[in-house]
Structure 1
């Protein structure tokens, strides 16, 4: 059996913009379905929210799928800020640094992407959509 664990992020009216931003950073295939696509106001969604994202999926690879949606006003509660961790091997450093650079656009950097005490390269930021990102690039393998 193959199981997948995919981050699912919620916003209030920003899902399309956020997911299009992530698409520009990570590449891949972005699929978006709005509340209007699924019945809109018949589902209890306010007229002003029918074009919001009911579900989106950004498929970057077989092992990296980022999902997101808007949290409409008729649903109880508020969207909770998400934290997503991206980690990879030293041989993927160029890709991971490129993703870091993309996510950094308009972000608040809490810890610059730099050498960490445990030997890896690590950084933390909150992007312009309020999502917390942790990046860890494994250090080189120890010599045998």
Structure 2
């Protein structure tokens, strides 16, 4: 089996972001810190940063993330959106409502020209999201 999953880089707030996403999407969150892997960071102050986090949410959704240690260049995600779609409007709308907390809504979640419901936002962590609910998602 092959998978394709979003993997988001943060500077130092991956844990906070992933815990927020877990509250919005549900599921199981596993977090490994740099401190869990001896010798993984050069700066002792970065031991609690996230080396790898994986959120496995209902419906086989998988979202991964990590923090970027200071000795690496950090590039904020640009030109990429996390897309959440499906046929269960209530489920997609519930995730939308939770992820709008602290977000900048760029397109309200509502009817789209192709007949589905669609919306876009940039969450409180600077990550772009797209939401789509309807029959074309089947």
Paired position in structure 2 for 1:66: 63
Q: CA RMSD in A?
A: 1.8
- Aligned residue runs from structure 1 range 22-61, under 5 A: 22-39=21-38, 42-61=39-58
Stretches of 4+ moved more than 6 A in 1?
none
Contact 1:11 1:79 in 2 (8 A): yes
Contact 2:77 2:127 in 1 (8 A): no
Give me the whole-angstrom Cα distance separating, in 2, the residues matched to 1:132 and 1:16.
Answer: 18
**Match status 1:8 vs 2:7:** yes
Contact 2:14 2:50 in 1 (8 A): yes
Q: 1:62 deviation in Å?
A: 5.5
Paired position in structure 2 for 1:98: 94
**Structure 2 residue runs without a partner (length 5+):** none
| CA radius of gyration, larger in | 1
**Structure 1 residue runs without a partner (length 5+):** none
Give me the whole-angstrom Cα distance separating, in 1, the residues matched to 2:31 and 2:71.
Answer: 21
Contact 1:45 1:73 in 2 (8 A): no
Give me the whole-angstrom Cα distance separating, in 2, the residues matched to 1:27 and 1:37.
Answer: 25
Using the size of structure 2 for normalisation, the TM-score is 0.91
